[in-house]
Amino acid sequence: MLRSVVMSCELCDLSIKENVIFSNRLFRIVHVYDVYYPGFIRLILNRHVKELSELTTDELSLVFEAIVKIEREIINLMQADKINIASLGNVVPHLHWHIIPRYFNDRHFPNPIWGNVNNDSYIVNNDLLDKEKLLIQNLRNKFN
C-alpha cells in the first residue's frame, strides 16, 4: 500500500494498526471497531489529501463508486434503518469517509453518532455482530 506520510497525521502513521478489508493505490477500506456501531466502515485516502476536490476526476469516480458499493453491501447484509455517510476530518484533516449503519434504537438515533446519546442502555445484539462478520467477509470478496 502506498501512503504519503505526513508527520503527526494518524492516518499517515504506518505504526497504527487498522483492520484493512481492501486496499489499492488510491484508498483503503477499513473496518472500524465500535462497540455501539457494528458494520462501521471507513474509506481512507492513502495519500495525505485534505479535501475531496483535491482529487482528480478519475480518483473521485473510484472513491464514490466504492462508497456506493460499501453502502449497498451494508444495506443488503445489515438491515439498517438508515445509512450515514460523512467526510468530516476536523480532527484528522486527511480525507476519509465514514459509512455507518444506523438503527432506530441505537445509542444516538436520530442524532448522528457524534451527537448526544439518546439510548444509554443500548447493547448491540449478537445477531448484528454475526451480520457484521458476514459484511466484512462480503466486502473482502466484492473488492478483492
Binding mask 61-100 for a copy of itself (x = CB under 8 A): x--x--xx--xx--x------xxxxxxxxxx-x-------
User: 3-state secondary structure string, 17-78?
Assistant: CCEEEEECCCEEEEECCCCCCCCCEEEEECCCCCCHHHCCHHHHHHHHHHHHHHHHHHHHHH
Position 110 contacts a copy of itself (CB under 8 A):
yes
Binding mask 43-62 for a copy of itself (x = CB under 8 A): -------xxxx------xx-
Closest approach of Cβ 86 to a copy of itself, in Å? 4
Closest approach of Cβ 106 to a copy of itself, in Å? 10
Query: Any bridge partners for residue 45, and if so which?
Result: 27
The residue whose grid cell reads 503527526 is 8
Position 112 contacts a copy of itself (CB under 8 A):
yes
Q: Nearest Cα to 114, choosing from 105, 102, 126?
A: 102
Residues of this chain that interact with a copy of itself (CB under 8 A) are 50-53, 60-61, 64, 67-68, 71-72, 75, 82-91, 93, 102, 109-112, 114-116
